[in-house]
Structure 1
Amino acid sequence: MRILTVTNLYPNPFQPQRATFNREQIRALACEHQVIVISPIAWTDELTARRTGSPPLPHGRRMYWDDVAVEYPRSWFIPRVFRGSYGKLFQWSLANTFYRVAREFRPDIVFATWAYPDGWAAIRLAHKTDLPIVLKVHGSDVLELDKHPSRRKGTIEALQQADRVVAVSRDLATKVLELGATPERIHLIYNGVDQRIFFPGDRIEARQRLGLDQKRPAILYVGNLVQIKGPDILVDACGRLAKQGIEFDLHIVGKGPMRQNLERQAAICGIAGRTRFYGTIPHNHLPDWFRAATMLVLPSRSEGVPNVLLEASACGTQFVASCVGGVPEIAHLGASRLFKPGDPNQLANAIAETLDNPPDQPISLTRRTQAVVAQELGSVFQSAIRKDPLIASGTIFWPK
């Protein structure tokens, strides 16, 4: 197949670690199919990058990642206002690139990830060119509509008008159904893990490579420093642990607008001396962090299925995570404890229990590879092209 992917969630020269889960999935698809990606870059992000000294994009605004061609049109919008117009502005921003690529590449299918504005705009462009389109939803784009009412109308339209909708968890698929997508168009496909990179290893050696203390428990957070991921809940919980005299170091990997507030919060909680912020690190360096950690903690307020939990458990690392979204659906894949979202006291108790009595590691861990996920996506694409209501067993979501 020839697959044209439309998403803002993809690496670019200014954000090379952006949405590595999408990069891996597209790379796996490109092993079996011809793939081109259109990934609009927000004009605000490009302006910020240029002001900090980043070189401009190459002439033609096309680059290659993993031998996959990526087009980078500039996305125009008015920051923080008229959010209901973002879909139309996104469509206008990528229209010329989309039509040119569609004419030259002649795709069989359009694959859009993120419901609004990406999916909404891609659906209109695809249907104008008589192309079928599959929309993949990740979690917050559907689950957080109450907090972003201006996105609600466009998100619902995208879910109802896409030829197929792929959800990464059963919880998310249920929400998609509630928002009006018909069940025969909803497909459940859990994300996969690159087992060539993420596998168990020696903790002592990993800590030596990272320069971490060999004796103190290492609590690890990996993710964007944004409200929905709940890093503030983790810092609060760790402050409570410190007051109980529990020894640990807190390692925070990731960047985002909350960093300064988190640093101040750590100081107020009395744990500044045992908290380290590392910013963003390359995706292929994460396995050592997982292997070195005593546990990974993900205190999200909302989730689809977090790849970071899949990757950590693939490395044999126990995790503590909030019981939200699709997290309970994957908890059996690793040694895990779940806690009530938004409750730092429960999180502190879960961390303390994990330190005292580590949960049992499953005897046999079944890992989905990126190749398997690519095959399942390929089946959904073929069904959309054929307008076939049914595809291979195990990838359709049917509500109970």
Structure 2
Amino acid sequence: MRILALTNLYPNPLQPHRAAFNRHRFRFLAETNELRLVAPVSWREEWALRGRGAKIPRGRRTTCDGIPVEHPRYWYTPGVLRSQYGRFFQASVAGAFARAVHELAPDVVLATWAYPDGWAAVRLARRHGLPVVVLVHGSDVRRMDEFPARARGTREALRSADGVIAVSADLAARVVALGAEPDRVATILDGVDRSLFHPGDRDAARRGVGFDDGRRHLLFIGNLLPVKGVDVLLQACQALAAQRDDWCLHLVGDGAERARLEAQAQSLGLSGRVRFHGSRAHAELPAWLRAADLFVLPSRSEGIPNVLLEASACGTPYVASDVGGIPEIASLGAGILVPPEQPAALAEAIGRGLDAPPPAPATGPRDRREAVAEIARFLRHSADRARVSRLLSPSAAG
């Protein structure tokens, strides 16, 4: 099958660690299908990251994991005219999309993220007579009401697509409630790359990442954005520090909130206990997970966070917010779930997880290739059904 993917969630020369979960999903998809990507880069991010050495090459074409990628510049008006973001996105990627259609002759279009990516993909695919499937991740649907224009565009994308893939049953139910036809929605739980994420020698891992053997080590991995709730984690750590002093917190990741969170840690008296390590390559994360005593994910909203699947595959116990699809994967790992945005409850659960971590289950997450094979089957099914529908529609109209 020939697949054209449209997504802003993909690495580029300026952001090589961006959306590793999507990178590896596409890498596995390309093992058995012909794949091409259009992965736009926000003009604001491109401006902010200028002068850091790497740059997007002339022609804006690259290759990642053997997959041809074009990185058009996404132009939009920051903070205003949000109702037009879908149109801005569509106009920004239209040329690259048309080139990819001409060169690949795809069987189906796959867009990941509902708005503006999915909204634009539906319109561009229709222009070229192609079926389109939208994959939703979590916050693109769960938090869409923050801006009315995003809500409207999300509903339009989900109702118009030939198929919708949701990464959790919770998300699939929300998609149907927003108007997507139930028989066009599939719940496909992701997996992990088991060649990377598996139990290992904790002492060797700690030496590798430079952990101090005299302390217990808490770990967070993710984007430093408000939705991830790291501010709540820091408040919980302040409460934990009043009870015990045998721990430190490691934050792996970067994002717009980093400076504010560093200031918050200092104001809470946690500078000696909280360490910001910045982004790390996906291949380095198994060592961090094996080295940690406890992984913590205090998110305000989630679909199915891949990092919890990866922690589970490494045998690392975790504390996480009871939000979105997280309860659906709790049985795959040694997890403790707590209500979101409650620092005291989070601090208590962290202490409990350090002192008496729950036992790991006999089986963990499935291999990601199984999930990707399921995605490919749904893409083919959706494309075949769309073509049959379009062949029959003139007769039905007559």
Which residue matches 2:142?
Answer: 143
**Structure 1 residues not aligned, in runs of 5+:** 390-400
Runs of 4+ in 1 over 6 A off after TM superposition: none
Which residue matches 2:334?
Answer: 335
Tell me the CA shift for residue 48 of structure 1.
2.0
Which residue matches 1:376?
Answer: 374
Distance 1:250 1:170, change over 3 A: same
Which residue matches 1:387?
Answer: 385
Q: Distance in 2 between matches of 1:94 and 1:261?
A: 33
Mapped contact 2:333–2:364 kept (Cα < 8 A): no
Which residue matches 2:246?
Answer: 247
Once the two structures are superposed, the pairs formed by residues 1-400 of structure 1 within 5 Å of their partners are 1-50=1-50, 52-362=51-361, 364-387=362-385
- Cα deviation digits, residues 38-69 of structure 1 (max 9, x gap): 0011111122222x243442232111000000
Deviates more, 1:307-316 or 1:258-267: 258-267
- The TM-score with structure 1 as length reference comes to 0.95
Q: Distance in 1 between matches of 2:245 and 2:54?
A: 47
Percentage identity across aligned positions? 50
SS at match of 2:269: coil
Tell me the CA shift for residue 92 of structure 1.
0.6
Aligned letter for 2:291?
A: A
SS at match of 1:31: helix
Tell me the CA shift for residue 264 of structure 1.
2.1
SS at match of 2:175: helix
Q: Distance in 2 between matches of 1:62 and 1:231?
A: 35
Tell me the CA shift for residue 334 of structure 1.
0.7
- Cα deviation digits, residues 320-348 of structure 1 (max 9, x gap): 00000000000111111000100000000
Q: Distance in 1 between matches of 2:364 and 2:242?
A: 39
**Structure 2 residues not aligned, in runs of 5+:** 388-398
Tell me the CA shift for residue 388 of structure 1.
7.3
Distance 1:233 1:128, change over 3 A: same
SS at match of 2:360: coil
Q: Distance in 2 between matches of 1:57 and 1:209?
A: 32
- Cα deviation digits, residues 283-320 of structure 1 (max 9, x gap): 10000100000010000000000000000111110000
Aligned letter for 2:318?
A: F
Q: Distance in 2 between matches of 1:283 and 1:147?
A: 31
SS at match of 2:308: helix
Tell me the CA shift for residue 366 of structure 1.
3.6
SS at match of 2:121: helix
Q: Distance in 2 between matches of 1:370 and 1:203?
A: 24
Q: Distance in 1 between matches of 2:369 and 2:144?
A: 32
Q: Distance in 2 between matches of 1:247 and 1:269?
A: 17
How many residues are paired up?
A: 387
- Cα deviation digits, residues 184-208 of structure 1 (max 9, x gap): 0110001110001111011111111
Q: Distance in 2 between matches of 1:360 and 1:214?
A: 23
Which residue matches 1:394?
Answer: none
Tell me the CA shift for residue 365 of structure 1.
1.5
Q: Distance in 1 between matches of 2:245 and 2:158?
A: 47
Tell me the CA shift for residue 94 of structure 1.
0.8
Q: Distance in 2 between matches of 1:123 and 1:140?
A: 20
SS at match of 1:176: helix
Aligned letter for 1:130?
A: G
Aligned letter for 1:204?
A: D
Which residue matches 1:395?
Answer: none
Q: Distance in 2 between matches of 1:263 and 1:71?
A: 35
Aligned letter for 1:123?
A: V
- The TM-score with structure 2 as length reference comes to 0.95
Mapped contact 2:14–2:56 kept (Cα < 8 A): no
Q: Distance in 2 between matches of 1:263 and 1:98?
A: 40
Q: Distance in 2 between matches of 1:65 and 1:42?
A: 19
Deviates more, 1:193-202 or 1:352-361: 352-361
Mapped contact 2:14–2:55 kept (Cα < 8 A): no
